Structure 1
């Protein structure tokens, strides 16, 4: 009910319309057996009953029946709109919440599992929400109306039907609870299956090249077998509800037929009334049958709500600050920063140890070091994907832990080697689906990074769809630069932007990078010295510690510096002998 209030509350007028449709449909539905009784009793009279009167009753019956169907269809449509709108809001809230979590939470779950959690579980809820109002509330109205009609015909039959309904609902509610936990386990195994498939598809080339297809197929069958076993067990537990319903209603129909036949034989009721009692028994069965089906959906929804609640209960280890970053290029400072990915485990050695340096505003830092030296971890602390274990990271003179995350991440841009592109238009790829940016700004950003000729070849300009895999590595990097241009950040982090490029494309990229970094603070992670040839400062990391830090010209002129040794050796920052 808390979820219903939260996500159905803003849709109150649609819910009100739905209630009107349901009340009207239920009222008309209850009239139908009354019309049927009049028709049967009139037909039993034979020639004494006017044919015109019977034809009129039949016409009214058909009109009311058609009206009930139209109202029910309208209620179903409105209910589906309400349900999907509510759960789409839930999806958006879940997505926003997950994006607010720190990287520790994202590392513990595969993308496939997260897709199943955010989409699969919420879809189970949307199916429940979209039918709940129509079928459950509508069924409850019809059930109450039918019971009232039984009391109007015969108090004792009304008491008997009331007792029957109470016993049936209590029994079904008790057996329903047995299906919640198996359904939750079924959803978990479904998420595990999706995660397994996503990981294998992502590494398909490696799986094939290493001849490991059969091994992964066997693993897949094992995961699929677990999902199948839990699904069938969960279905058996949920099916107990409708099996019990069938047994109880078999007894209920026998009882009502015996009562109707007995009363008719005793002359207490007419034949039409006997038909009426049977019709109202159908109206008792139909809503309880609907409730039975919805109870099974409720089991699924209950399990999904539990898992959704688990996600919403997760809290980021990165507390939200309140301060905003000032405008313009910003200085960056690390002060005695230590960092470990698992600070609770004393046996795990930290990644960074006592890292301290200062990068003035508007300058570019070339970050060098062997693989595993802590270069990428250092940049992750700048964009606050993690917080330092000790020490502080300061941007614009403010501790990053005191900043609003939205302010920090809107002013810090990261360009990685693997540029993520979407199957969307060029514009959407650059703006991340922001409709407020005009096409002129998008085109200007493409011109700025040297993609004018490429843009001119696009049939629909920036609205041209960009199929995945249609760009070269250089074009993808330049598109990433254009993204940054549109964001206009204060600090830019480039993770070896030219590592996969040929010399000609690298020259184009270098020119674009020069324009991109102009007037901005920047960190460039480099494995090739050409990439940092224009950097203002050089920082060399080794084993998580600062081996060297200073102006590039000064370090190049010092024959005993690590950077000068790299220049003499003519190797990249991965030079094992120089940086050892």
Structure 2
């Protein structure tokens, strides 16, 4: 009952349109109730009364009623449709707004297909009920009651005999609802599973083909589809039994009416016109009775879908922005300095980019990844994070823009705990480039401008030149207006990576996070990008998640992580001289020509990074 109450509350923002829908629906119903009475008068007065001239009058009356019903019906459908579509629009936007405020950890637990199914088909089921089912349900109930009253007024004995089917009809309908509801809920869940599987296969289509797993994936998809088929057959079987029964019960009343009513006409106790009108009203009563089964199923689907929608909307925001959260502000310039020496700009409130990790612990579920990490980076410092797969490199950097919150300890930027800062403002000062960047299905210029929507054309081009992307972009047919296709797969990995670097640079961030941003480019381009990045990183706090030895040359300091703890820290030369873990990893990588971590990246398999796609 709580779900249906919450679904009905969605109409609250459209009270007048909803009221208009009901008024027009009742008007349409009332006009329909006039028709049998006109038929009765036509038979008794025009045909049996010997006044054929009245046929034109009554015919025109019926035509007029039909015309008005048509106009009212059009208005009702327009009003109902506008309400339902507006609610669908609002509900879907509410869901996406809620999802966009959830942290990465939330999406680690939810398959994309499940979320898509709830945002599309489930919300559509709610819309169908509110736009059509609710109005039909209420007007049909009122119509059945009104017809019952009319029948009693016309002939109470015949009415009682004809209406004995109603209690049985209600009993069967309620039983039908109780049996169908859990089946429909199961169908919706299985459809979501199919959607999730289909989404995975579309996104991972290249991997499926590379490993020749088409048959296996088809079998997996077929299995999920068959489970939907089984549940849908169970629902169809239930409908097959109950809906014909719901339609059959009123026909018993019609049989009684024709027998006993016909005898009354023969005996002179009832006019032929009254019997025809009585029959017409009874048929009008049968029609809502037949529709009740469909409306009940529609309502049950809406309830099942509503529960799935509100499961998303009711999920607590695991990462809250405090009511008194403030923008990121600098701690002021160095002692004795009031402005930037190059430009003379006031530095008293500009973020500088100093980052401090103080006793940071973090776990994915019950699996600890960071264990008491303490690390301080002065503003403008460049550090390379090195370690084996799963040591916590990406996780550590994900805490800076607050993609995740630490379980214990704190992360501070310019001395301010990131949990006390406005999220949007914090992330405006942090540029992120992931190892496997994500591009949107739009133009290259729009992808670069995603980091700064108001960036000028010159700013976009300048960022692209710094990222060594301008040459290949200009060589494309439409240059910067070239549409890259879904996820940017029309470009090479190196091209996507350079666009992602440009996207981060156009923000002019105080903090840069580079997850081996040159891993997908050739040696010549890598050298050019490294040269450009040296200039870009000057004055910015930069984290480099280093997978290859060549990347470390960009860093002033190396931090070696092992099993979630800082194992070593210092310059490349000092750590090599120490002969510890770093020296061993670096030597192995140089000898075998492999990555420092022997794998690529750490514990999240870049799920988080792929979601960000190189944008802060």
TM range (shorter): 0.7 to 0.9
Which of 474, 480, 484 is the matching residue for 2:504?
Answer: 484
Indicate the residue corresponding to 2:364 in structure 1: 341
Q: Deviations over 1:36-62 (max 9, x none)?
A: 22222234237x3143x3123212212
Asked if structure 2 preserves the Cα contact closer than 8 Å seen for 1:112 and 1:194, the reply is yes
Report deviation, 1:35.
1.9
How far apart are 1:431 and its partner, in Å? 5.2
CA drift at 1:125: 2.1
Residue 184 of structure 2 corresponds to 183
State the TM-score, normalized to the length of structure 2: 0.82
- Taking a change above 3 Å as real, the CA distance of residues 421 and 258 of structure 1, as seen in their structure-2 partners, is farther
User: In structure 2, how many angstroms separate the alpha carbons of the residues matched to 1:460 and 1:20?
Assistant: 56
Task: Return the alpha-carbon distance in structure 2 between the equivalents of residues 42 and 270 of structure 1.
Answer: 11
Matches within 5 A, 1:7-406: 7-45=10-48, 48-51=50-53, 53-159=54-160, 164-322=165-323, 323-327=325-329, 328-343=351-366, 348=367, 350-406=368-424
Check if 1:528 corresponds to 2:548: yes
Give the 3-state SS of the residue equivalent to 2:432 in structure 1: strand
* Aligned-partner Cα distance in 1 for 2:392–2:322: 26
Deviation (angstroms), 1:229: 1.3
* Structure 2 SS opposite 1:382: coil
Change in 2 beyond 3 A, CA 1:483/1:210: closer
Query: What is the DSSP-based 3-state SS (H/G/I as helix, E as strand, rest coil) of the residue aligned with 1:424?
Result: coil
For residues 210 and 569 of structure 1, do their structure 2 counterparts lie closer, same or farther at Cα, with a shift above 3 Å needed? Answer: closer
1:112–1:197 Cα contact (<8 Å) kept: yes
Taking structure 1 as reference, are residues 201 and 467 closer, same or farther at Cα in structure 2, changes over 3 Å only? Answer: closer
Query: Does structure 1 conserve the Cα–Cα contact (< 8 Å) formed by 2:387 and 2:596?
Result: yes
How far apart, CA to CA, are the structure 2 residues paired with 1:517 and 1:401? 26
Structure 1 residues 216 and 477: alpha-carbon distance in aligned structure 2, compared to 1, 3 A threshold: closer
Q: Is the 8 A contact 2:569 2:575 kept in 1?
A: no
- The match for 2:523 is 503
Q: Do the aligned partners of 1:182 and 1:237 also contact (CA within 8 Å) in 2?
A: no
SS at match of 2:399: helix
Determine which of 6, 18, 24 is the counterpart of 1:3: 6
8 Å Cα contact 2:451/2:504 also seen in 1:
no
State the Cα distance separating 1:442 from its structure 2 match. 5.5
Counterparts in 2 of 1:525 and 1:27: CA distance versus 1, 3 Å: same
Of stretches 308-317 and 177-186 in structure 1, the one that deviates more from structure 2 is: 308-317
Residues 449, 460 of structure 2: 8 Å contact kept: no
CA RMSD of aligned residues (A): 3.3
Aligned partners of 2:162 and 2:481: how far apart in 1?
65
Farther-moved stretch of structure 1 (204-213 vs 523-532): 204-213
> Per the alignment, do residues 284 and 142 of structure 1 end up closer, same or farther by CA in structure 2, a change over 3 Å counting?
same
CA–CA distance in structure 1, aligned partners of residues 64 and 446 of structure 2 = 52
Q: Distance in 2 between matches of 1:279 and 1:502?
A: 82
Counterpart check, 1:441 vs 2:456: yes
Distance 1:410 1:163 in 2: 71
Matches of 1:164 and 1:547 in 2, distance apart? 82
Question: 1:564–1:68: structure 2 CA closer, same or farther, 3 Å change rule?
Answer: same
Q: Quick check: 384-393 or 178-187, which moved more?
A: 384-393
Residues 184-211 of structure 1, C-alpha deviation per residue, up to 9 Å, x if partnerless? 1122222222223333344444444444
Distance 1:89 1:203, change over 3 A: same
> How much has 1:573 moved relative to structure 2?
6.0
SS class of match (2:316): coil
**What secondary structure does 1:422 align onto?**
coil
- Going from structure 1 to structure 2, the CA distance change for 1:233 and 1:516 (only over 3 Å counts) comes to farther
**Of 453-462 and 175-184, the range deviating more from structure 2:** 453-462
Structure 2 residue 569 is the aligned partner of structure 1 residue 549: yes
**Range with bigger deviation, 204-213 or 283-292:** 204-213
Q: Give the Cα separation in 2 of the matches to 1:382 and 1:471.
A: 30
Q: Call closer, same or farther: CA 1:484–1:10 in 2, change over 3 Å.
A: farther
Any stretches of 5+ residues in structure 2 without a counterpart?
Answer: 330-350, 599-616
Distance 1:302 1:539, change over 3 A: same
Gap regions ≥5 residues in structure 1:
none
Query: How far, CA to CA, are the matches of 1:252 and 1:485 in structure 2?
Result: 78
TM-score by length of 1: 0.86
Deviations along 1:520-557, one digit per CA (max 9) or x if unpaired, are 4331212234334333432222232212234x477479
Match of 2:525, SS state, is helix
The superposition leaves residues 547-579 of structure 1 with CA deviations (integer Å, 9 ceiling, x where unpaired) of: 2234x4774796657667777788376077xxx
Deviation at 1:375, TM superposition (A): 0.8
**Separation in structure 2 between the aligned mates of residue 492 and residue 238 of structure 1, nearest angstrom:** 60
Aligned residue pairs, count: 565
- 1:371-424 Cα deviation digits (max 9, x unpaired): 222211212222333332332222332333444544544444432122222223
